[in-house]
């Protein structure tokens, strides 16, 4: 952990902090979602992470996609905002957050799939019908429910 969130953790320890984040859901030409299995809870999710001070949400989402999955987003479109009680989360290390997350869809991207070893165990494309809520990291389940309702 680096940057703003690391600095906040030095001040508050594991107490709940507001975490502003931006994420990208990559969709391939067959309508499959690219997901990564997280190293911390071993559940699946899209790329994304905390915004740095004065960072644009779009830039954060693009940066996280490249860092975590090795891809460059050519075009992104706004999908939704994920916030509220369901996004409150306690990480396995005890850090507690209340998330406010901006999610984008990306259908045009390039690069070589490369998982960020410190955060992602495995990358894989899933057809919408292969995705169950039990396999998805808890704070992003509302996003998947909305996505699957719209695109399944």
Q: Is the pLDDT of residue 1 over 70?
A: no
From the list 12, 13, 8, 33, the residue with the least C-alpha distance to 23 is 33
Where do we find the tokens 């999908």? 79
* Residue 43's CATH number: 3.90.79.10
Terminal CA-CA length for the chain: 35
Using CB atoms within 10 Å of the CB of residue 61, give its burial: 0 to 12 exposed, 13 to 18 middle, 19+ buried: buried
Supply the mean pLDDT for the chain. Answer: 96
- The predicted structure's pLDDT at residue 99: 96
For residue 25, give both structure tokens.
Answer: 């859901």
Which pair of structure tokens corresponds to residue 124? 């894989």
Please check the confidence at residue 109 and state whether its pLDDT lies above 70: yes
DSSP three-state, residue 89: strand
pLDDT at 148 over 90: yes
pLDDT tens sequence across 14-61? 999 999 999 999 999 999 999 999 999 999 999 999 999 999 999 999
Residue in this structure with the two tokens 């953790």, named with its chain if needed: 9
Q: How many structural domains does the chain have?
A: 1
> 64-77: per-residue pLDDT in tens?
999 999 999 999 99
Instruction: Provide mean pLDDT across the span 69-95.
Output: 97
* Sequence-ordered strand ranges (E) for the chain: 17-26, 33-38, 44-45, 47-50, 71-90, 96-111, 120-126
Domain of 124 in residue numbering reads as 3-151
- 106: tokens are 């990306």
User: Is residue 145 within 8 Å of 79, Cβ to Cβ?
Assistant: no
Q: Residue 32 has what DSSP assignment?
A: P
Q: Give me the pLDDT at residue 151, please.
A: 85
């Amino acid at each position: 952990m680096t940057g703003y969130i690391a600095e906040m953790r030095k001040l508050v320890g594991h107490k709940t902090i507001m975490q502003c984040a931006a994420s990208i859901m990559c969709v391939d030409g067959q309508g499959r979602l690219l997901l990564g299995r997280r190293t911390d809870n071993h559940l699946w999710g899209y790329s994304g992470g905390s915004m740095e001070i004065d960072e644009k949400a779009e830039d954060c989402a693009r940066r996280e996609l490249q860092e975590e999955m090795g891809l460059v987003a050519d075009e992104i479109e706004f999908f939704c905002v994920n916030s509220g009680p369901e996004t409150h989360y306690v990480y396995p290390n005890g850090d507690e957050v209340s998330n406010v997350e901006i999610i984008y869809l990306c259908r045009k991207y390039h690069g070589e799939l490369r998982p960020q070893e410190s955060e992602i165990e495995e990358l894989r494309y899933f057809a919408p019908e292969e995705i169950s809520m039990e396999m998805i990291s808890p704070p992003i389940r509302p996003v998947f429910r909305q996505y699957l309702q719209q695109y399944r």
